[in-house]
Amino acid sequence: MKILIIDDDLEVLDVLESFFISLGHEVKTVLNSIEGLKLITTDIFDLAMLDIRLPEKDGIEVLKEIKNTDPQLQVVMITGYKEAEKVIEAFRHGAMDCLLKPFNFEYIKNNILPQISERNK
């Protein structure tokens, strides 16, 4: 599986990248939404992990652009804040899930990744 992670926190990128690589997935990480959106137009991903709060562009706006560019790409929003309105808005715009930091890696492994694999069959 090919995974893109967009987050402005280098520690989050490192933790998620290590986790997905340990499971045998290919991972690309970027620190900003502009770079992430460029990658989506030049590469094909199975899953995008996207921070809700990004400095240059709101994560919801980035989600909308991702869905306009690649409607089939599954997007999981990530946040360190309990922002009910933002989470609801993310689901309205096509996010498949929303994860709170710190991450529950068992949930990712046992719920999110199987859903992506099933959709890609």
Report which DSSP code applies to 95: -
52 pLDDT more than 80:
yes
121 pLDDT more than 80:
no
Closest by CA to 30, choosing from 44, 1, 51, is: 51
Structure tokens, 25: 């997935």
Q: Are 75 and 48 in contact (CB under 8 A)?
A: yes
| pTM for the structure as a whole | 0.93
4 pLDDT more than 80:
yes
Mean residue pLDDT of the chain comes to 93
Give residue limits of the domains in the chain.
2-119
Question: Which one of 2.60.120.200, 3.40.50.720, 3.30.450.40, 3.40.50.2300 gives the CATH number of domain 2-119?
Answer: 3.40.50.2300
Burial grade of 106 (CB within 10 A; 0-12, 13-18, 19 or more): exposed
12 pLDDT more than 80:
yes
26 pLDDT more than 80:
yes
**Whole-angstrom distance, CA of residue 58 vs CA of residue 110:** 29
